[in-house]
Structure 1
Amino acid sequence: MDFLGYKGRRVVVSGCFSGMGEATARQLLEQGAEVHGLDYKPTALKLASFNQVDLRDPAAIDAAVGKIGGKVDALFNCAGLPQTAPALDVMKVNYAGTRRVTERVLPLMQAGGAIVSVSSNGGMGWSRRIPTIMQLIQADGYEAAVKWCEDNAETVREGYAFSKEAIIVWTMLMSNRLIKNGIRINCTMPGPTQTPMMSHFEQATKASVLEAAMQPINRRSTPDEQAAALLFLNSPVASYVNGVSFAVDGGFMAGIATGQIDPRSLMANA
């Protein structure tokens, strides 16, 4: 049961109220970790501590992380908003707020620490927009990142895809810097997952597109399946895994890369 090595480790889960974050916090508790939660809504889980925080408010982020204090062994960035929310709010939570949480937790980490963030297969176009994404990443600080998004609304668009692309590139950039201090950082790229947020995706996306994104496994993942990947990446077992965008999608990205899935099937919304 202690194969992943979480027993007694002190961890922080952002977005612990529902979905992947709730599943992650619950699995960490089962593994014997000391879990500290952050979310906009209170959790029913019996955590070591919980701080209610709005990732659209940098001062609230700073205060919440300050209350946790002490040494942190692992950070799980699971909080997020769907594309049905205002685009700027999506960017604040999915990118700027996630980055702010990470930057505030980092001083609490030592060598052997690990960070993982939830991106998405919706961010798979990151490689075509690296120069633009780097402009956002180079906007230093929460307020500067928000200002960049306001000034580049046409690039940001609905916010969801671009925020997930930004998380992937930011993860890659930070992995080379943080590993010099013995800290790893990775992210996952989930496929369609049956969480409370899925109803928002169904509202904003044609059913044919969601069905195409479930190939070749042809079902949605569960929050627990996504959480298991997050626990692995942040565990001592994955000590040589760094800077990875880990597709947890039942083979979808593999199908795209090998031409077995037609990417045009994802363009029905355009």
Structure 2
Amino acid sequence: MMDYLGYKNKRVIVSGCFSGMGEATARLLLEQGAEVHGIDFKESALDLASFTLVDLRDPASIDAAIAKIGGKVDALFNCAGLPQTAPALDVMKVNFAGTRRVTEQVLPLMSEGGAVVSISSNGGMGWSRRIPVIMDLLQQKSYEEAVAWCEGHADDVKEGYAFSKEAIIVWTMLNSAHLIKKGIRMNCTMPGPTETPMMSHFKEASGESVVDAAMQPINRPSTPHEQATALVFLNSDAASYINGVALPVDGGFLGGVATGQVDLTAMMANAS
């Protein structure tokens, strides 16, 4: 059978490989014959080529982890994240500033044909209405400057989760246009509700009715594997002309919203 995805013997990094979508992604990549290097705050039980503990709230920890892996990297999977039940600044550090720092450290290890994919969320679907403020954040070049910006813009950051996911989408679109000139692609996914350890946190923060509403029209959560397949595809040789995309992996939710077929009553009531 042809190696359609092209991962055999490729060297990849998965951030957030301990559980959930990141664990499912690392597992799938191993099945595809990739050399998988994992980083996370908790140690992975998978049989990886290497694993390094990292704290995305600490740029020095990020730099040391990527330096330890070293060598050529063919693909990066940014799967680490915190839910909105964590402190807002920690959420911004992990979901945006830390994810960006990991990527910046890995990019010099990539050459033409490399690819980066990050996990955003349908929780970031309001990105287009906040481009000016998100672009202001993206102009903060260093990790420390981004964190300081977040500290000074609490009204924009709010609980951190939605804004961090909006920032990932705009950052992906912005950087994809520059990186493709070097032959490196960059995309992200927008998952709907997924059965991961974070699901209980989403229900606690938003309410079960809101989570249920976000499962329309398929009316079930996705599995981590279903999210992993989209991530693995986007970074594969099979997706060589896909760049700068925020791909909904949500069972049709955003399509239903756009065409008026999804009832947002529960979500709007919670927002008010």
Q: Per-residue deviation at 1:131? A: 0.3
Q: Per-residue deviation at 1:240? A: 0.1
SS in 2 for 1:269: helix
SS in 2 for 1:130: helix
Alignment deviations for residues 125-152 of structure 1 (CA, whole Å, 9 cap, x no partner): 0000000000000011100000000000
Q: Per-residue deviation at 1:245? A: 0.2
SS in 2 for 1:260: coil
> Which residue of structure 2 lines up, in the alignment, with residue 102 of structure 1?
103
Q: Per-residue deviation at 1:207? A: 1.3
CA contact (8 A) 2:13 2:36 kept: yes
Q: Per-residue deviation at 1:168? A: 0.1
1:81 aligns with 2:82: yes
Alignment deviations for residues 139-194 of structure 1 (CA, whole Å, 9 cap, x no partner): 11100000000000011000000000000000000000000000000000000000
Alignment deviations for residues 176-216 of structure 1 (CA, whole Å, 9 cap, x no partner): 00000000000000000000011111111111111110000
> Which residue of structure 1 lines up, in the alignment, with residue 131 of structure 2?
130
SS in 2 for 1:217: coil
> Which residue of structure 1 lines up, in the alignment, with residue 157 of structure 2?
156
> Which residue of structure 2 lines up, in the alignment, with residue 144 of structure 1?
145
What amino acid does structure 2 have at the position aligned with 1:211? D
> Which residue of structure 2 lines up, in the alignment, with residue 244 of structure 1?
245
CA contact (8 A) 1:12 1:37 kept: yes
CA distance in 1, matches of 2:269, 2:49: 45
CA distance in 2, matches of 1:27, 1:41: 19
Q: Per-residue deviation at 1:259? A: 1.1
> Which residue of structure 1 lines up, in the alignment, with residue 191 of structure 2?
190
Q: How many residues align?
A: 270
Q: Per-residue deviation at 1:264? A: 3.9
CA contact (8 A) 2:4 2:237 kept: no
CA contact (8 A) 1:206 1:268 kept: no
What amino acid does structure 1 have at the position aligned with 2:85? T
CA separation of 1:5/1:127 partners in 2, compared to 1, >3 Å: closer, same or farther?
same
CA distance in 2, matches of 1:264, 1:72: 45
SS in 2 for 1:268: helix
What amino acid does structure 2 have at the position aligned with 1:105? V
CA distance in 2, matches of 1:243, 1:46: 32
What TM-score comes out, normalization by structure 2 length? Answer: 0.98
Structure 2 residues without counterparts, runs of 5 or longer: none
Q: Report matched runs for 1:22-101 at 5 Å.
A: 22-101=23-102
What amino acid does structure 1 have at the position aligned with 2:146? A
CA contact (8 A) 1:208 1:268 kept: no
CA distance in 1, matches of 2:205, 2:181: 42
SS in 1 for 2:270: coil
Runs of at least 4 residues off by over 4 Å: none
CA distance in 2, matches of 1:14, 1:128: 29
Q: Per-residue deviation at 1:262? A: 3.4
CA contact (8 A) 1:11 1:36 kept: yes
SS in 2 for 1:267: helix
> Which residue of structure 2 lines up, in the alignment, with residue 229 of structure 1?
230
CA distance in 2, matches of 1:252, 1:81: 22
CA contact (8 A) 1:53 1:64 kept: yes
What TM-score comes out, normalization by structure 1 length? Answer: 0.99
Q: Percent same amino acid at aligned positions?
A: 76
CA contact (8 A) 1:40 1:52 kept: yes
What amino acid does structure 2 have at the position aligned with 1:61? I
CA distance in 2, matches of 1:261, 1:72: 41
Q: Per-residue deviation at 1:69? A: 0.4
> Which residue of structure 1 lines up, in the alignment, with residue 219 of structure 2?
218
